[in-house]
Structure 1
Amino acid sequence: MIFKLFRKETDREKSAAKLYDAIVARARQPVFYLDYGVEDTTNGRFEMIVLHAYMLMHRLRNEDREAKALAQAVFDRFFRDMDDSLRERGIGDLSVPKKIKKMAQHFYGRVEAYDDAREVSEDKLAEALSRNIFADDPETRVEARDLATYVLACAARLDEQQPQDFLTGSIEFADIPARSK
């Protein structure tokens, strides 16, 4: 662990850090919490980071080996950040690995649910988002539908970007549509 302090960060790791920072910045946009009804809690923020990380990783999954390695580096960065966050919150050293394992299971569960739903329809994606982000609250059906529309717009925007863009740490998500209350 201490030897990592003396190791030079690779270009891939630098790009992954930039991408992860962009994912977190987008996931923290107040519009998701104020207008879309995502709970402004640790869980709500985790769900939004997972959603945005998922979108990038979904985009990179069918690219070349270098792009897939970048997706893995973003994933690693994400869970390193989660580990650091847990430790900052005072979670003990023995509990952190168990909590990280559970977070990883949640992440992979979301990936599977979102992938399966996207293959069927936007409505199914809205249902998956409702289950995972809104705890299937019937009062948030419209918000889940709007969020599904946003996810698909982001997918289209990410598809327009070249793999080389991501390799330099550049990412552009779709605009977040304002919701009328």
Structure 2
Amino acid sequence: MIFGLFRKRNHNQIIVVRQYEALTSMAREPVFYTGYNVPDTVMGRFELLSVVMILFFRRTRSSATSGQELAQEIVDAFFEDIDYSIRELGIGDNSVPKRMKKLAGMFYGRLESYATAMDGNDRAALAAALRRNIYPKTDEGASMAALADWMMDAEAHLAAVTEADIATGSATLPQPGRLGQKVG
């Protein structure tokens, strides 16, 4: 029984890698850091990767079981990648599990707060949640309106992605700055 689970994961590996690379590539788009006020720091990149993963996770929640399994494998890959990055930054092995637990809590907290705003189609609330998370140490922070607009547009874009694209790891996100939103 357990060996069947490993086989299934190996079968999905190519699909997971393809989709994960597409998602992380989007999170590396320079315009997010130069025009959408996301700081180009380790935590800024974590925040943007979280945004992209949350968008994909939200899309696949209505998918067939295979799409939901794929989403879980991609989120698992995301956390494996974070674990690796933490270790590369020189964090001691004893501290990694504690930091991973904190980052996982942050991710799922963001999932909940962004989902509440997006489910209510409330761009202002989404921008406020993004600002609180991306600039946690200041009361003001930069405007996250453009990022909130992109997220709402990206969610609409993902809603039109076919189940076949999800199942093959071919889902895409819209390029930032190309949907008519004001950047800056």
TM-score by length of 2: 0.87
Partner of 2:135: 134
Q: Which runs of 4+ in 1 moved over 4 A?
A: 178-181
* Deviates further, 45-54 or 13-22: 13-22
> Greater shift after overlay, 169-178 or 157-166?
169-178
Could you say which residue in structure 2 is the equivalent of 1:43? Answer: 43
| Counterparts of 2:50 and 2:43, CA distance in 1 | 10
Per-residue deviation, 1:20: 1.4
* RMSD of aligned alpha carbons: 1.9
Paired position in structure 2 for 1:4: none
Percent sequence identity is 38
Match of residue 20 from structure 2? 20
Amino acid at match of 1:123: A
TM-score (norm 1): 0.88
Check conservation: 1:54, 1:111, Cα contact below 8 A. Answer: yes
Q: How far off is 1:175 after superposition?
A: 2.4
CA distance in 2, matches of 1:166, 1:15: 9
**Displacement of 1:134:** 3.3
**Equivalent position SS for 1:45:** helix
Distance 2:55 2:9 in 1: 25
Match of 1:70 in 2: 70
Give the 5 Å matches for 1:159-170. Answer: 159-170=159-170
Q: How does 1:96-175 map to 2 (within 5 A)?
A: 96-120=96-120, 121-135=122-136, 138-141=140-143, 144-175=144-175
Q: Mind listing any 5+ residue stretches in structure 2 that lack a counterpart?
A: 1-6
Partner residue in 1 for 2:3: none
Q: Do 2:131 and 2:141's aligned partners in 1 also have CA atoms closer than 8 Å? A: no
